[in-house]
């Protein structure tokens, strides 16, 4: 089955700096890669996603890149703000809507 790894497990950055979180997956058939943000005590919520026919996608300060050959994808957050502090999860899915497998998560702390 699919296995998703995620690094780093914790990340601290100064406000205004950039943050990068990286994930790898094992099943080359996976074709949908969402990223979720989970604030303390709340449910995970989708912040951005990318499908396998696209190499990069951007939404304001957030961007995701995908390298299908290497089977890895990354989340980039620019101009970080304290409200970006949360746990971020990557996931891989086959034929989106099937068998979402999540990475272990990255705890991001943005220091004022």
Partner 1 sequence: DAGVIQSPRHEVTEMGQEVTLRCKLISGHNSLFWYRQTMMRGLELLIYFNNNVPIDDSGMPEDRFSAKMPNASFSTLKIQPSEPRDSAVYFCASPYANTGELFFGEGSRLTVL
Q: Give how many residues touch partner 1 by CB under 8 A.
A: 22
Q: Locate 63 and state its tokens.
A: 């961007």
Selected binder of partner 1 within 53, 60, 69, 98 (CB under 8 A): 98
The pairs formed by 68-74 with CB atoms below 8 angstroms and a separation of 24 or more are 68/28, 70/24, 71/24, 71/25, 71/26, 71/28, 72/22, 72/23, 72/24, 72/25, 73/22, 73/23, 73/25, 73/33, 74/20, 74/21, 74/22, 74/23
Selected binder of partner 1 within 14, 70, 83, 97 (CB under 8 A): 97
Enclosing H/E stretch for 36: strand 32-38
78 or 101, CB closer to partner 1? Answer: 101
Q: Identify the DSSP state of 8.
A: -
Which span sits near partner 1 by CB under 8 A: 22-30, 56-64, 74-82, 96-104? 96-104
Which span sits near partner 1 by CB under 8 A: 10-18, 54-62, 66-74, 86-94? 86-94
> In the range 28-57, which residues lie near partner 1 by CB under 8 A?
32, 34, 42-46, 49
Note whether 107 binds partner 1 by CB under 8 A: no
Distance of CA 67 to the CA centre of its chain: 14
| Contact residues: partner 1, CB under 8 A | 1, 32, 34, 42-46, 49, 89, 91, 93, 96-105
């Amino acid at each position: 089955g699919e296995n998703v790894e995620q690094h780093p497990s914790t990340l601290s950055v100064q406000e205004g700096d950039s943050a990068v979180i990286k994930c790898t997956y094992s099943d080359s058939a996976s074709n949908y890669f969402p990223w979720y943000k989970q604030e303390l005590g709340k449910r995970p919520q989708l912040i951005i996603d990318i499908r396998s026919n696209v190499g990069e996608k951007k939404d304001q300060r957030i961007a995701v890149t995908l390298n299908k050959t290497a089977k890895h994808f990354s989340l980039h957050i620019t101009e970080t703000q304290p409200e970006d502090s949360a746990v971020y999860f990557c996931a891989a899915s086959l034929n989106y809507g099937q068998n979402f497998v999540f990475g272990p998560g990255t705890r991001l702390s943005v220091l004022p």
